[in-house]
Amino acid sequence: MAVEDVIKLVKKVATEVIPDNITFTDIKVEASNVVLYTPNLEIFSDNNDLIRKLAQNVRKRIVIKADSSVRKPILGAKQKLNEILPEEAGIVDTRFDEINGDVILEASNPGRAIGKHGIVLNQIKREIGWNPVVIRSSPMESRTLKDIRNYMLEDKVAEGRKKFLTRVGKKIFRDTIPGEQHVRVTALGGYKEVGRSCHLLMTKDSKVLVDCGFNPGNEKEPSPFLSAPEVTPLEGIDAVVLTHAHLDHSALLPMLFVYGFDGPIYCTPPTRELASLLQNDFIKIQNAEGKKVPYNTEHIRQAIRNTIPLNYGDTTDVSPDLKLTFHNSGHILGSAAAHFHVGDGQYNLVFSGDIKFENTWLFDRAVNHFPRLEGLIMESTYGGYNDFQPAREEGSRTLYDIINRTVEKKGKILIPVFAVGRSQEVMLVLEKLHSEGKLKDMPVYLDGMIWEATALHSAYPEYLNNNLRNKVYQNQDNPFRSEIFNKVESTDMRQEICGREEPAIVLATSGMVNGGPVMEYLRNWAPDFNSTMVFVGYQAAGTMGQRVQQGAKEIHLHDREKGGTIPVKVNMNIETCEGFSGHSDKRQLMRYLRTIRPRPKIVLLNHGDPQKCEQFANDIRRKVRLDCRVPSNLETIRFM
């Protein structure tokens, strides 16, 4: 249905549902939303279900805003807001977006700013004519969050985004050619390997790219096969869907804008911030190692401008015949399984993303109940016959034992971690050990992006598990703000830590030891027989982390002074502490499939080494009785 037809339909139904005393000055389509502008502020009365009825009748997302002619001037609007908003809301900042008619309210207690059943929001709309948007203030300062929020409110950016959303809406609601529906997926990366995850979903009327990652362990082919004929030209891609922010899924997303893509990106709100953080760091690491970077910071900003955030459980049209819903995948902050509803229900497909089917210290377990489901594309990182991990409590005890043994020898503990996910899990364990008096006064240093990523976790408590969420909400006993943690502020501070004689614990990025500040600690401590490196996350094939984990006695690190590399002896103890992984082990993967509802007709495996994929597929066929396939990169599978 073309945009013009959508607007005609909304006008027709509005005359039947909306009282005669309510008029509309304009109707516009912005992405999948139909926005109606009215000078009649009484439409925002409490418990008004007119909008809901209209949305149900036209089967579209309806937003009603006040016409600009009835908006109060900003000064008067601010005064009125002070009268309306309860003190308990804890308003930190108020910003007016004159381009879109929004007033952005940053609150420490968003629930009070919204009011029961939205009563406060409706009062604001009625009395000042501005559309209130409530956002949570972070209890820990996040430069990334602050920069993105300020950037999106710049007049030029806001005006450009309004035009962009209109353009997206026209593309979503466009006329299509009649014909037989089909559903196909082309494997562009991450199949029979871990890294460069990328899939192309194709239907009769749509092309959607799911993830666009990088493989640090594959120097010959680190990028997805974006030159495949199904993908090009990139202008033909309707949208990109990002399941989560880890670089093996998100690193090359900004590169798409270099080669002509200018469409929308769909992800959860925290994924937008985390992806931006990690992509900027990716540029720094690549430059520091003298490697070519396929994009620059402007392309990251363009990705931010083109992102349409979507919360868990919300559904949106992304193309003429595809609806998208995100569900929690339990892997990292904001990680999601992407559920696609094709056409009028002809087919339903889920891309699992990376999943953790277990309640963790950070998140609730992955969702595996969907409204409808025929096809599943699923990760298999730990799908091998013997890929069983200990419980998290056992992992915590193991880490404590390793720390104790190292401290007795007056050594230092180096834990390479991903900035997002594993860092925060290890922090929670260390904070608990500290609160129990087991770490005494030993300092814990956080180097790299860990502090910033942790601040983003505090900014989105609704994505955390119930116990942790309440601690952040109440801003009491927030474990992330414990006095035990020290942020490494500078290169000089890092050098001081490297040269210290007393025991210390350092959490540093990157998690696979393929760049970042962890390299400096490794350079200094690797020759020390008394120190220990503890791996708590997956080490991909070809990475420095995997070589060290497998027992390399000598490694070559970048020579800062002369260029090239220098040999470094590895005498430190190398330990692997399992139980911290953000991926499901074999037992959890099988439980995920046994309890998934409804049962899919076909399962495709990706995100796993070739042998593990095949072993997992065999078990799925024998034990779960599902049709399971293991495609290679560049294969296309037809689902319908």
3-state secondary structure 557-578: EECCCCCCEEEEECCCEEEECC
DSSP 403-469: HHHHHHTT--EEEE--TTTHHHHHHHHHHHHHHTTSSTT--EEEESSHHHHHHHHHH-GGGS-HHHH
Q: How far is CA 57 from CA 13, 331, 440, in A?
A: 7, 37, 63
| Residues 10 and 28 sit within 8 Å (Cβ to Cβ) | no
Contacts (Cβ under 8 Å, ≥6 apart) of 418: 246, 509, 510, 511, 537
Helices 422-435/450-459 angle, 10° precision: 90
Axis-axis angle for helices 297-305, 143-152 (nearest 10) = 60
Per residue in 382-409, is it b (16+ CB within 10 Å) or e — as a string? bbbeebebeebeebbbbbbebbeebbee
317 carries a ligand binding annotation:
no
Nearest to residue 192, comparing CAs of 383, 415, 4?
383
Q: Is 477 annotated as a binding residue?
A: no
Task: Report H helices in 153-258.
Answer: 155-172, 247-250, 255-258
- Burial code (b: 16+ CB inside 10 Å, e: under 16) for 181-203 equals eebbbbbbbbbbbbbbbbbbbbb
CA distance 640 to 183: 5
Residue 228: closest CA among 194, 257, 185, 263: 185
CB atoms near residue 69 (< 10 Å): 9
Q: Look up tokens 């020390």; give the residue.
A: 528
Under 8 Å CB-to-CB from 79, ≥6 apart: which residues? none
Question: In Å, how far are 447, 451, 452, 453 from 489, measured between CA atoms?
Answer: 8, 10, 12, 15
Is 341 annotated in a binding site? The answer is no
Q: State the alpha helices, DSSP H only, in 18-108.
A: 50-58, 74-84
Residue reference for tokens 């992405």 = 31
C-alpha 181 chain-centroid distance:
31
Instruction: Provide the 3-class DSSP secondary structure of residue 505.
Output: strand
The Cα–Cα gap between 604 and 591 comes to: 17
Is 619 annotated for ligand binding?
no
- Residue 117 labelled as part of a binding site: no
DSSP state of 597: B
327 assigned binding-site residue: no
**Are the beta carbons of 309 and 135 closer than 8 angstroms?**
no
Report whether 182 belongs to an annotated binding site. Answer: no
Annotation: binding site for Zn(2+): 244, 246, 248-249, 331, 354, 607
Annotation: binding site: 244, 246, 248-249, 331, 354, 607
